[in-house]
Amino acid sequence: MFLFFFIILVAIYTYNLIKYSANVPIEFDFDFILAMLNKYIEATSLSEKFSVIFCLHNAHIIIFYRLFF
């Protein structure tokens, strides 16, 4: 009985989270995405475009954001 009640509460919470949450960029997304897009558009060759995608950002590579956003 407890497990069923717990599953119902998790389902309600997940539904409300998905329905009412806003898809807004967080923290560094605005500057990062806009700067990356400008560099990508200004790149003339394919090798320059790959270097923009795979360049370091704060000592790590953020490929997911660069490919999908």
30 is a domain residue: yes
pLDDT digits (tens, 9 = 90+) for 3-33: 999 999 999 999 998 888 877 666 666 677 7
| Predicted pLDDT of residue 8 | 95
Task: Calculate the alpha carbon distances from 23 to 13, 31, 36, 55, 60 in Å.
Answer: 17, 17, 20, 26, 24
38 is a domain residue: yes
What domain count does the chain have?
A: 1
36 is a domain residue: yes
Whether 69 shows a pLDDT value over 60: the answer reads: no
5 is a domain residue: no
User: What is the domain range of residue 36?
Assistant: 25-69
43 is a domain residue: yes
Record the tokens describing residue 60, joined without a space.
């790590």
37 is a domain residue: yes
